[in-house]
Chains A and B, each alone.
Chain A
């Protein structure tokens, strides 16, 4: 890109200024290689983060120990369950275990462990039934508390189900926060990216039309519209558009609505870039050559112009993605996106905006925020890696 230029001048100047040319070429090669590696590392790290997020979303049911909607009214707003290796008598056990908890002070939300009986944890524990990939029905989960054997003979009337393991604590209705976080990634990771892709496609089509079909009026109108769209306060407009629909919507309709709103406001930037690229490429010799041998306009556009414009367009898509993801989060946060009991990062964060709660358990409440940060970081690393030409 443009920005690489001054640097070469600088290294060149250094090269000519010293006698030991060989040494310096060597040094700068290493430096160059290091730079390439660093950019590749960005691409790699970014891709890895994104892959992990999507794998989490796909396997959310398997990874989550509990159904994200099931409430456990006995333990609202519980802190994360403590995992023990040493019991109250000081004996070590290889297998980690937890104790049952009892709410001793509902006002201060204080819990007390009941150390009479240890409940061991295990991998591939049994839990609620779910379908892996939508096909295999199974009740295994990655981890969980080992099911309690029926001990009717002991006389004591024990609860047949073991205590719940809440690694991130529970929310106000006693739902397992980790399970909600895992499931939330499903909604958040689909709506934002899908909206981005739809808006980008619309923008590319409009931009190509403006840049290649030579109707000056249409071009001017479209570009002014895009200019205006980019300078308006989008979130306020989205809020206004969202206000036109009932506040409570089923998840599918909410997702569709959000995607179409994103489509309506997100095309402008893409159209602007696509038009600029098409206008620049239209005057290049290979396009003139293609025109001179009589190819059709659509063929030239799709076979000659678009492939050459692909890289900046893809970079732009990765740049837009965080914006849409965050718009979804913001809307759910403000209570006009996805509604409870469904989970999204935004509506989980809405619970975290309560100052008294935030003072008590800041880290677990902010866990969706960390997820958002990590995902956006991943996308940004990816686009940084894609941007540089020498990958």
Chain B
């Protein structure tokens, strides 16, 4: 277990290094920085810009700048955002908690619906009413992109005033119920494509597990159907679910870019769009690093869970388990 964690941590660090180096050099290759816009300002002289460049260290060669950025990062600093004129770390920190709240709520929604519907469908015969309902839910939720759903939610919000969307910041004075209501709609929108992903797997996995002998034994013992399903059958069907959970995290973060932008949720996704539009390289670097770290951490958690659930799994089997269900799983677009 420790070996797994250390291996994964090391691998994650290497990945983060590569991602940061790539992003950094791409942004540098773009040419032009936040000060380029100042050049056209008649009030700012050439001399001032040069001095500003020197103070921000923008006149140094690429690798020097990267190493300096890296050294800063180790000390917990991520530079100064040109657009917000504030330290990147403070901006990112508040946004990160918002995005995490949104993502976790969405994941809870998706799992709750998938488990409830999937368990109901798995108990009944293929082709039964519930089973067909499940198929329809899978088809519809997999083919409704988040961008479409988010816009429909926005239209409903402004037409009917059933619920509120959008806030520039989550204020602390706001009542808990109110902020919960604000969270609900974006989280629902974010969770919809996930429902298809999880539901398809829960249904198939549970259905296969219900034919196993240990389930018959559990039933023969006289356990209630709920206990049989959730304690015995689900445990056996859990491995692919955890794997899928790990892979879905990247999709959740990608999806939150759209949902946050449309529904005005002040999270990292929205921030990344702001950073790209304003060519704010330090901010974008910060956002990319934080999201990548969060997703990799989620993946590590999924790996640990997988090992806890099924200690038999060695590294090799885990990989092959992933392959076999990559083929089966209902597929949800990354960017939706």
Contact = CB atoms under 8 A, between A and B. Distances in A.
Interface string B191-229: 000000000000010011011000000000000000000
Interface of A: 1-3, 5-7, 9-10, 31, 35, 223-224, 228, 230-247, 269, 272-273, 275-276, 312, 316, 319-320, 322-327, 329-330, 333-336, 349, 352-353, 355-356, 358-359, 362, 365-366, 369-370, 372-373, 376-377, 379-381, 384
B247 interface: yes
12 contacts: A2-B208, A6-B211, A231-B296, A234-B254, A234-B334, A235-B258, A237-B23, A244-B26, A273-B323, A312-B327, A322-B333, A370-B148
Contacts of A362: 155, 159
A201 to B, nearest CB: 19
Interface string B295-331: 1100100000000000000000001101110111001
A141 B294 CA distance: 53
B247 A230 contact: yes
B87 interface: no
B80 interface: no
Contacts of A35: 127
Given A240-B284, A272-B323, A355-B154, A1 B328 contact: yes
Given A231-B249, A336-B276, A359-B159, A245 B147 contact: no
A333 B147 contact: yes
Contact of A238 (B277, B291, B296, B335): B335
Interface string B124-165: 011100000000000100111101100110110111000000
A329 B151 CA distance: 13
Given A236-B288, A322-B336, A276 B323 contact: yes
B27 interface: yes
A370 B151 CA distance: 11
Interface residues of B, number: 73
B151 A352 contact: yes
7 A-B pairs closest in CB distance: A323-B333, A235-B254, A327-B335, A233-B253, A276-B323, A319-B331, A244-B26
Contacts of B296: 231-232
Nearest to B273: A334
A103 B214 CA distance: 74
Interface in B23-72: 23, 26-27, 29-30
B261 interface: yes
Contacts of A244: 26-27, 29-30
Contact of B148 (A223, A230, A235, A373): A373
Q: Give the one of B147, B208, B326 with max A CB within 10 A.
A: B147
A233 B336 contact: no
